[in-house]
Each structure stands twice: as C-alpha cells, then as structure tokens.
Chain A
Amino acid sequence: MSEQATPSANLPPEQEPSTDFVVRLGVAQRAGGLVVPVLTAVLAFLAGGIVVAATGHNPLTAYRGIWDGAGFNWIFHIPWNTNTVNLDAFNLSQTLLTTTTLILVGLAVAFPFRCGLFNIGGQGQYLVGLIVANWVGVSFASWPTLPHVLLGIGAAAFAGAAWAGIAGFLKAATGAHEVISTIMLNWIAIWGGQYLFGQGGPLQNTYNPAAPESGTVVQSAHIPVFWGNPVLQGLDYGIFVAIAALVVFWLILNRTTLGYEVRAVGFNPEAAAYGGINVRRKYIQAMAISGAFAGLAGALDMLGYLFQFGVLDVQASQIGFLGIAVALLGRNTAVGTGIAAFLFGGLLYGTTRGLNPSVFDPSLAGNLTSMIQGLIVLFVGADVFVLYIWNSRRKLRPRRRAEAAAA
C-alpha cells in the first residue's frame, strides 16, 4: 500500500504536534539516549573550564582536585595511594551522602515534570521535611530506633507532600501557575524555619537560648551508619532509601494506573481528559508525591547526619535547587536522575569540604559548581529544542502538504 499524497488533502490540516516542553523532553528522552545528557554535561564542564583557565588557574588540576575531593578516585583506584585511601574512601562516602539527598530532590522535580508541572519548590518542601523530622527526632525520645526513624521519615514525607500539595491544589482549583506558587512557598518555608529554630522559637534548642538553632535529634533516632565511622559522619542506610525511591518512582510511572494517568496528562491533557482522566486531580497528586520525595530528603539528612539545624543553615541551604539541574540532566527518568545525582553529589562535595585548598580554592570551586549547574540547565533548555526539531522533521514528512488545504 503506497503512502502517497492524497486528493483528500483538501480537508483542513491536522494540528501541529505541541511544542510543549514536556513533550519535547519526552522526545529527547527516547531519542537522545545516553549520548545527549553526557554531551550536555561535558559541554558544561568545558565551559566551566574555560572560565577557570581565563582567570589564571589550571582547569585540569582544578577538575582533578574536585575529582579527588569527591572520592571518585577511590572507585577507580587512581591513584592507588595508601596514604590517601582512607581519605578517598571518606570523600566518597560523603559524596554518596550528598547523592542521597540529590536523588530525592531530583525526583521531586522529575515526577511533576512528567505531568507537565514545573516544581521549583523542592527547597521549601525539603526544609519542611527536615523541620518535621527534627521535631520527631527530638521528641519521642523513649522510642526504639526503628519506629522512631520510620515515624520521622513518614511524618516528613507527609509534611513535604502537604506543602507541595498546596501548590498543586492552587493550580487545580484556580489555575495558579505552579512556578510562582512554589517559589512563594519556598520562602514561606525558609522564614518558617528561621522562626521555628530562631531565638524563642518553639523548636529552638533548650540548652542554649542564645544560639538560634534547633534541638538535637536524640541518639536513638539516628539512622545507623554502615560505612565509615559514625563519629566522623559516615554513610548511613539512607542511601538505600534513596535508591529504593528511584525504583518506586519508576514503578509508579510505569506500573500503576496513576503513573499512566500522570504521563498521559503530561503529554496531552486534552486526550487524557477525553480518556476519562481527571486532569486537575492528577495535578494535586503529582505535586503531593513530589513533595513527599523532597520531604523524605529532608528527613534522611536530618536523621542521617545533620541531627541539628540552625537559622543560618536554613538561610544558606540551596540543595533543593540543585534538584532542578539533576532532574533535567537526567531527563526526568529514574536511571538518569540517579546518575545525575551522583555526578552532582561528587561535584558538590568535591568542590566544598572535600577539596584540598592547596589544589584549588574551595570558594572558587563552589561557585564553579553553581556555574556548571546553570550551564547544564541552560543547555538542557536548548538541546531539547534542537532534538525536537530534528525528530519532528522526520515525522512531519507526509503532513506538510496539508498546509495548502485550508482553501
């Protein structure tokens, strides 16, 4: 059967496929495979390296210092230097700690993206989870470890879900754009944290009224450490929770009716509505699930290694925003988010506490991370478009003739 052009093309032309960002990312996802994200990251690092070089530093030593600082060398045993093996192992454990958080805040951005929603509120949802986990961890002191930790994690996830759910509800009920509402909720959470942990605040530590910080999570609520020395902040079981979250993310999207609905709404809300899906309810559910991921991140951090949080920490925390770069680089998929989280985890730790200051100045390195973060997000914004055009061109071939038809 030939697929030639038809005299019936005198009917009105079909609609062009939507240029919506989610659709484009979906196209990119399937088409680009691994190559495009890798290329994006490489380009960003290259650009960062140019800035470093232009300001009189050696980018290679800088990146090498970050690599070592992240502990990546431990994996590859390059160099296998017994002097530093323990340090490298420690660095890697810290990188994995950061990865834990990033996986979850990344999922918090990736999940709603699949539903066509842009969640910038990961930071606020993370803080809410962190605050609630702190409260649970400080109270209920007599509980044994497992129930105590589970309660903390559960309450935090629920709190994060509720916080994000506000934005989802506003979108469903009033059409309020989730970008604005989540940004506002971020700041409300930040100020809320400052109030709660600040002087005279209800969650402030009880032993030193002059110090604007929270109470300390009791020992029995610490998530056990399995790699490294707990006294020196080792890697706790939280990483497995994060990996489990990746699996849960994948399962929800691909093995549940909810996931089917979320994906349908993300790709084509009209067809989804026609199939009987309640689009508004999907918005609320997607935001709630995303908030749960972010809240969980806060809980794992608080009960895993932070144990205490001060007003200054609340102000300085930026990790929720890194979730945006993680999710975008990982193309909003489970595997992608996991890998991107590991990359950024290494970058984040390797440029701050892990970096040997004599190799490269950590404050320069920290800003380098922000730049790379910005560049990656920037490039993802553009290459998605480029990919989309490349793909649509091939598929649009028989439809161009319909242009003529509106006579």
Chain B
Amino acid sequence: MTNHAQPLQETHWAFQPKAIAVAGSILGLVAFWSALPPFTVRSPLVPILIGVLAIAAGLWAVTRGTRRLGWGAIASGVIGLGLGLLATRSSSGNLHVVFAADLVAQVFVFATPLTFGALGGMVSERSGVVNVGLEGMMLMGAFWGVYGADKGGTWVVGILAALAGGGLFALLHAYWSIHLRANQIVSGMAINFLALGVTGYFFEQLYGNQNIPSGVSTVPNVAIPGIDHMAYLGPAIGDLNLLIWVGVAFVPLSYFVLFKTPIGLRVRACGEHPRAADTVGINVYAVRYAAVVVSGMLAALGGAFLSIGFGGGSFTENMTEGRGFIALAAMIFGNWRPFGAWGAALLFGFSTALAYRLPVYSSSAATLFQVLPYVLTLIAVAGVIGRSVPPAADGQPYVKQ
C-alpha cells in the first residue's frame, strides 16, 4: 500500500513519492481547468502538456511504491487531458455558461454537507462503530437547527439545537451498538427511519402547513475583503457561507486530531484492535461513545447547513434526500482519511453541480452526472481501484473480558 517502512530520509518531504503523486493529481485537475474559465485556453497543447506532466508524476510515484496515489495521479492526468481537450473544442460561450465562476461556489455548497457527514462517519468508524445513520442525524440537525434559530432568535441557538438533535440520536445509536451490541447497520437504519418520522412529525406539528416563517436568522456568509470583488475569484469563493469555511477547516483539524494527537491514536487503536487497546488501559467503550456522538454532531452540522446555512432558513420533509448516504460513500471512497473524504466530497459535489448546468448540453448527461458518485463508490468498494480498507475492527461489538 502507500505506507511502508521508510529508511531514514534525507530527501526533502516535497520530493517524496507521496507528495509527487498528490502534485500529479492536482496537475490533472489543472489540465482540465486550463481549458475552462477563467483561463479558457483554446490551444489543445496546454491541457495535453499538463496532463502528460501529471501522468509522468504518477508513474514516477508508482515506480517508487506509492501505488494508490500514483495510479490516482495517472488517472487524474488522463481524465484531465481528455476533458481538457474536449473543452478546447467546445464553444467558448457554452463553456462560460456551464463553467462560470460560481460553479466553484456551487461545488462547495454541494460538498459541504457531504464533508461534514463524511468526516462524522469517519470519526465513528475509526473508533470501530459503523454509522449508517448519518442521514438521520443530518436530518435532525437540519430541522432542529432551523427550529432553534426560529425560537431562539439567532442562528447560534440554531446550531446548538442542531448539535443537540444529532448528538441525541447518535447517543441512541451508540448505546444500541456498544452496550446492547445490536447489529450496527440495523441500528443505523432504525435511526434513519426514526429521524424521518420525528422531524416530519414535529415539522407538521409545530409549523403546520405554513412552513418556516421567513426572516429566520441564518448563518451568515463570509465576504473576504479584496477577493470578493475580483472577476473570477469573487463569485467563486469571495462570498461563501460561514459553515462552508467551518467545514473546510474541520478537514485539517480532524486530520490533526486523528493522526497527530494521543487522543487520535487511541481512537484509531479502538477501531483497529480494541483488545490491544483494552490491555494497555484504554476505555474502549468510552472512546467509542464519544466518537459516535461527535459523528452525530458533525452530521447534524451538515444538516444545519442545509436549513439555516445555504437554505436561507427553510425546511422540507426529508430535506437531506440521501446526502447522508452519499457522505458515507465519500468516506469509503476517501479510504477513511480526512483529506481523502474531502476530496471525494468535492468530487461528488462537482458532479452534482455539473449536473445542474449540463441541461445546456443535454439533459441525459445531467442525470449521468448525478449518478456518477454512486457508480464511483460501487467501483471503490469492489476494490477495482485498490482496496478500500476500513478499520480492522469496524462494525464488531467489543466484549470486555
């Protein structure tokens, strides 16, 4: 796999195969993007050159043992090259319509609930508890978020309410999975059904058919001074919602906590080999409880974004519409790692955003791009692009001796 024993290194980290592979993947993206606004290069040479560079970087990495990331870079280069070529042949007008600057903003909008959900799922599964109830926890966050913002007057109360709602259901799932040792998938699905019913019921009960009143406090956007007036970057990232930035921030944060702190080490130990963790004195039950509750809260934040972040203070029944499951898919596709999951969330978000714009070309293409995340995940779990390896003890209840 990607990790293997490295002898004492004198080479700079930037030249290690892993970094080269990551650079290659990014280059592939650049190859495609070069033909899109704001660059809109028309000469096919540019995407070809950059794409070739990406493939080369990938090959270099693969031959030095970094197989998964290296092949990813090669794939990125090939796809970027191909798409870039296609783009140079497409009419410039069409390109500007589809790939307008706010596409980037839209990608972030779609990707944010997925990011929160995927990070939440990752935390839970890293501790050894499968959480398919992300959808339900997200939905709870969405509803109680807007309810809290409405009754509490400010979006801060809304966020707190969302955290409480998601955390409560997560606690339920944790109790069922850890203490009662129920089948974790059954428990997760039950949470989903329950959340659907509870949020729908209380929505009807509390708001009837009038819907959430307008003017509910929502999470503000963050206007970045200077950038927000620039031609391309402005509409792209100059005025994004706060929760989007929070989501982005959680990615390195979760990486840091999970892989650079003692707490993270213990969480991962509980997910890989709970008995080993137990014998060195770690309280596996407590760690798992905490992880599951955190995962529910993260998912709830994703839901809150839907209702009081981007949603402008609205709610509809079953608002999450399967995003919790896509988040699960992103987590798997990202191999249970923070940056991988985020990359997958962005990819899926891009696919969805594109799907909304592609009716310019053809409506069947739009559906294709909506389906793409699911197909990609199917391919990922089948292990076609390298094994997707969950934590070793994922899903197995732990029995203390």
Q: Which residues of A contact B (CB under 8 A)?
A: 19, 21, 51, 55, 118, 120, 170, 173-177, 179-181, 183-185, 187-188, 191-192, 194-195, 198-201, 321, 324-325, 328, 361, 363-364, 366-375, 377-378, 380-382, 384-386
Contacts and interface: CB of A to CB of B under 8 A. Distances in A.
Interface of B: 132, 172, 176, 180-183, 185-187, 189-202, 204-205, 209, 317, 322, 325, 328-329, 332, 363-364, 367, 370-371, 374-375, 377-378, 381-384, 397
A174 B397 CA distance: 24
7 contacts: A19-B181, A174-B381, A180-B328, A184-B381, A371-B194, A378-B172, A378-B187
B194 A367 contact: no
B371 A374 contact: no
Contact of A377 (B172, B193, B377): B193
Contact of A191 (B132, B187, B371, B397): B371
Nearest to A361: B204
Nearest to B396: A19
B193 A170 contact: no
A179 B186 CA distance: 10
Nearest to B321: A315
Given A185-B378, A194-B367, A198-B363, A385 B185 contact: no
Nearest to B399: A19
B378 A184 contact: yes
B193 A179 contact: no
Contact of B182 (A185, A195, A384): A384
B194 A200 contact: no
A374 B190 contact: yes
Nearest to A193: B367
Nearest to B195: A374
A176 B201 contact: no
Contacts of A192: 367, 371
Contacts of A385: 180-182
Contact of B381 (A170, A361, A386): A170
Contact of B201 (A180, A200, A371): A371
Contacts of A55: 201-202, 205
B374 A188 contact: yes
A118 B183 CA distance: 11
Contact of A367 (B182, B187, B190, B197): B197
A381 B190 contact: yes
Contacts of A325: 193
A359 to B, nearest CB: 15
A21 to B, nearest CB: 4
Contacts of B200: 363, 366-367, 370
A374 B204 contact: no
Given A176-B382, A183-B325, A381-B183, A371 B197 contact: yes
Nearest to B175: A382
Nearest to B182: A381
Contacts of A363: 200, 204, 209
A20 to B, nearest CB: 9
Contacts of A180: 328-329, 332, 377, 381
A192 B202 CA distance: 33
Given A173-B382, A187-B322, A367-B197, 10 more contacts: A51-B201, A55-B202, A170-B381, A183-B328, A184-B377, A191-B367, A200-B364, A325-B193, A364-B204, A377-B190
Given A364-B205, A382-B180, A181 B381 contact: yes
Contacts of A382: 176, 180, 182
A188 B180 contact: no
A368 B190 contact: no
B110 to A, nearest CB: 15
A188 B375 CA distance: 8
Contacts of B185: 118, 120, 179
B334 to A, nearest CB: 14
Contacts of B182: 381-382, 384-385
B189 A120 contact: yes
B113 to A, nearest CB: 16
A170 B363 contact: no
A370 B196 contact: yes
A374 B382 contact: no
A55 B185 CA distance: 30
A176 B199 CA distance: 33
Given A51-B201, A191-B367, A373 B193 contact: yes
A183 B322 CA distance: 10
A184 B374 contact: yes
B93 to A, nearest CB: 23
Given A195-B367, A370-B197, A381 B205 contact: no
Given A367-B204, A371-B201, A381 B187 contact: yes
A199 B180 CA distance: 49
A377 B189 contact: yes
B361 to A, nearest CB: 13
A177 B194 contact: no
Contacts of A378: 172, 176, 187, 190-191, 194
A386 B205 CA distance: 35
B346 to A, nearest CB: 19
A174 B382 CA distance: 6
Nearest to A377: B190
Contacts of B384: 174
Contacts of A19: 181, 397
Nearest 7 A/B pairs, CB to CB: A374-B194, A370-B197, A371-B197, A374-B193, A381-B182, A367-B200, A367-B201
